[in-house]
Amino acid sequence: MKPTRAPQTYRVKSFGCQMNVYDGERMGELLAEQGITPAAEGEEADLVILNTCHIREKAAEKVYSDIGRLVAAGKEKGKAPLIAVAGCVAQAEGEEIMARAPAVSIVVGPQAYHRLPAMIAEATRGRRATDTDMPAIAKFDALPARAKRGPSAFLTVQEGCDKFCTYCVVPYTRGAEISRPFNDLIAEAHRLVEQGAKEITLLGQNVNAWSGEDDKGRRVGLGGLIRRLAVIDGLERIRYTTSHPKDMDDDLIAAHGEVEKLMPYLHLPVQSGNDRVLKAMNRQHSAESYLKIIEKVRAARPDIALSGDFIVGFPGESEAEFADTLKLVDEVRYAACFSFKFSPRPGTPAATMEGQVAADVMDDRLQRLQARIAAHQLAFNEASLGKTCTVLVERRGRHPGQWLGKSPWLQSVHFTGDHAIGDLVEVELAAAGPNSLSGRVRTAVAV
Ligand code: 5AD
Ligand code: SF4
C-alpha cells in the first residue's frame, strides 16, 4: 500500500442492528474529534467505513461487493477512498478480508473502534491495520463526549452475549456479556439530554442482563437503572432493546407499571413456539414460560405493545412444530414482529445440524407467519383509533406541513400542523394502516 493524504471527510455505512447504528455514530464522533467531517450528501468521502453485520444471509459477500463498488468508483474518479471494515464481519472474518481485499486498509472489530484514529494514521503511512481485540469497557472510556443528534438517541448500556443460542454468531462476534458502569451511563444520558434528546433507547444484545452498582452502592438491574434515568429532567421517554426472556426479572416488569417515562413497548424475542425447537436452539425457556412472562408484563402494564423475533425453518422444524409458532403468535397478539428464515452461520452448532429445511419450505412458512403477524399488527393499530396519545416529533413527512413521530407504542404517526422536531404533541389517532397511523393534533405538550 502506498502512503496517502490524511482523510478529511468520512462516510459510515451501518448495516444490521441498532447497536451498529450507535457504534456508527460513535465512530463519527471520534473522527470529528480528529477534524474529519462527514462527506456532504452525494460527495465521495476520503474514508469509507463499512460497519457490517454478520447475523444472517451472505453478509460477508455483501461486504466484498461493496468494496468492489468503492474500488470501481475510485478508479473512475481517479481517487480511491481509504476503506475500513468495521462491525461483526470484521470481527469474524478479519483475516480473510485482509487476504481477499487488498483495497481494504483497516479491519476493526466492534470492541476496538476507539483505536480508529491510530489505525487511520497507520493506513495513511501505507501500512494496513487490523484490531479485533475485545476489551469492551476500554472502548467506552476512550470515546469522546456525545455530539448533538435528534430528539431520540441510543445509549449502549450492555454488550455481548453469554446465551449461545445454537444459530447465533453474536456470542462469537461481540464477546461475553459486559455491563457499562452505572455512573458512566447516567453521565452519558445527561449529556444526551443536554444535546436535545427527549427519548433514550437503552441498547444491548441482552440489554436486560445489564447489572451494576448504583450511586448508593446497591446492586441493581435494568429496572433500577431505568428508575434512576427517569428522574433526569428533560428526559421524557425511555425505551430498551433487545431483551432475553431469561433476564426479564420482576423488578424490570414492575418498572413497566411504575415508571411513567418508560414507554409501553417491549421487544421480547421468542424465536419459536415449539419446545423441542426452543431446546434445540438452546433458548433456555419454553413457550409456556415465555407466555407466563408476557402475562406478568401485561398485568403490570395492560396497554403494552409487544414485539418479537422469529426464526422459521430451524433445522428439523416440522410442519406441526411450525404450527406451534403460529399458535403462539395468536396468543400474544404482537403489535410488531421481525421474522427471518434460518440462515446457517459458519461456526455455530445449528449450521451443521441434521434436518436442514429446504428453501421453498422456509419461504412458505415465512410467508404464512408474516401474514399472521401483519393481521395482528393491523388489529393493534386499529384498536388504537380514537385514543389520544403523546407523539414525539422526529422528522418532516413527505407532504408539505406533514410531520412524523412515534406514539408511546412505537407506532409511526403522521399529522400536520405547526411543529418542530423534538416537540411532544398530543395527537388523536384517526386512521390506521398496517405500518403507520395518521392523527389530528390536539394540543402541544409543554415540556
Ligand atoms: N438465522 C436467522 N435468523 C437469525 N437471527 C439470529 N441468528 C439468526 C440466524 N442464524 C435472528 C433472531 C434474532 C435476530 C436479531 O436475528 O431472530 O433475535
Ligand atoms: Fe444471539 Fe441468543 Fe444471544 Fe440473542 S440471546 S444475541 S439470539 S445468542
Q: Exposure of 200 by Cβ count < 10 A (0-12 exposed, 13-18 middle, 19+ buried)?
A: buried
Contact criterion met (CB below 8 Å) for 415 and 425: yes
Residue pLDDT, tens place only, 177-228: 999 999 999 999 999 999 999 999 999 999 999 999 999 999 999 999 999 9
45 Cβ closer than 6 Å to some ligand 2 atom: no
Instruction: Indicate whether 245 pLDDT > 90.
Output: yes
Instruction: Indicate whether 114 pLDDT > 80.
Output: yes
Lowest mean pLDDT among 228-237, 326-335, 394-403: 394-403
55 Cβ closer than 6 Å to some ligand 1 atom: yes
Is residue 43 very low, low, confident or very high in pLDDT (cuts 50, 70, 90)? confident
Residue pLDDT, tens place only, 327-385: 999 999 999 999 999 999 999 999 999 999 999 999 999 999 999 999 999 999 999 99
% the chain with pLDDT above 90: 85
The strands making up 336-341's β-sheet, listed across from edge to edge, are 265-267, 305-312, 336-341
Give me the residue label for grid cell 468521502: 45
- Which residues on adjacent β-strands are paired with residue 402? 416
Distance 318 CA to ligand 2 centre (A): 23
pLDDT at 144: 87
Fold entry, domain 9-135: Rossmann fold (3.40.50)
pLDDT at 119: 96
What average pLDDT does the segment 56-75 reach? Answer: 87
| Residues ≥6 apart with Cβ < 8 Å to 251 | 221, 223, 224
Measured from the Cα of 174, ligand 2's closest atom is: 6
Give me the residue label for grid cell 396519545: 389
| Residues ≥6 apart with Cβ < 8 Å to 67 | 50, 83, 85, 101, 103, 104
Average pLDDT, the chain: 94
Which CATH number does 388-444 carry? Answer: 2.40.50.140
What is d(CA 372, CA 376) in angstroms, rounded to the nearest whole number? Answer: 7
Measured from the Cα of 167, ligand 1's closest atom is: 10
Give me the residue label for grid cell 445449528: 350
Contact criterion met (CB below 8 Å) for 147 and 31: no
C-alpha grid cell for residue 335? 403489535
DSSP 266-318: EE---B-S-HHHHHHTT-S--HHHHHHHHHHHHHH-TT-EEEEEEEE--TT--
The one-letter amino acid code at 141 reads D
56 Cβ closer than 6 Å to some ligand 1 atom: yes
Nearest ligand (C-alpha, residue 207): 2
Contact criterion met (CB below 8 Å) for 415 and 438: yes
pLDDT at 320: 98
Task: Please state the φ and ψ torsions of residue 298, each to the nearest 5 degrees.
Answer: -70, -30
CA pseudo-torsion sign 369, 15, 39, 188: positive
What is d(CA 342, CA 301) in angstroms, rounded to the nearest whole number? Answer: 33
406 Cβ closer than 6 Å to some ligand 2 atom: no
Contact criterion met (CB below 8 Å) for 208 and 252: yes
Instruction: Indicate whether 325 pLDDT > 90.
Output: yes
pLDDT at 57: 75
Atom 14 (ligand 1) nearest CA: 309
| Residues ≥6 apart with Cβ < 8 Å to 302 | none
Residue pLDDT, tens place only, 424-443: 999 999 999 989 999 999 87
DSSP 211-280: EEE-TTS-EEEHHHHHHHHTTSTT--EEEEE---GGG--HHHHHHHHH-TTB-SEEE---B-S-HHHHHH
Instruction: Tell me the domain boundaries of the chain.
Output: 9-135, 139-383, 388-444
Tell me how far CA of residue 425 lies from CA of 124, 194, 196, 439, in angstroms.
49, 21, 16, 11
Instruction: Indicate whether 444 pLDDT > 60.
Output: no
Nearest ligand (C-alpha, residue 174): 2
pLDDT at 445: 57
Instruction: Indicate whether 60 pLDDT > 90.
Output: no
Count of Cβ atoms closer than 10 Å to residue 363 Cβ: 13
139-383 maps to CATH 3.20.20.70: no
| Residues ≥6 apart with Cβ < 8 Å to 280 | 166, 314, 315, 316, 350, 353
Lowest mean pLDDT among 2-11, 103-112, 213-222, 387-396: 2-11
- For residue 354, the 8-state DSSP code is S
Could you tell which of 270, 329, 340, 356 is best to mutate to test the pocket of ligand 1, judged by most ligand atoms within 8 Å of the CB? 340
What is d(CA 228, CA 416) in angstroms, rounded to the nearest whole number? Answer: 35
21: alpha, beta or left, given left = phi > 0 and alpha = psi -120 to 50?
Answer: alpha
Measured from the Cα of 168, ligand 1's closest atom is: 7
Lowest mean pLDDT among 106-115, 137-146, 201-210, 304-313: 137-146
- Tally the C-alpha atoms within 13 A of residue 407's C-alpha that lie toward its C-beta: 31
Please indicate whether the domains covering 139-383 and 388-444 agree at the CATH topology level.
no
Instruction: Indicate whether 7 pLDDT > 70.
Output: yes
C-alpha grid cell for residue 43? 460527495
pLDDT at 75: 87
- For residue 358, the 8-state DSSP code is P
Contact criterion met (CB below 8 Å) for 98 and 104: yes
- For residue 28, the 8-state DSSP code is H
| Residues ≥6 apart with Cβ < 8 Å to 236 | 198, 199, 261, 392, 424, 447
Q: Which residue in 46, 60, 135 sits closest to 95, CA to CA?
A: 60
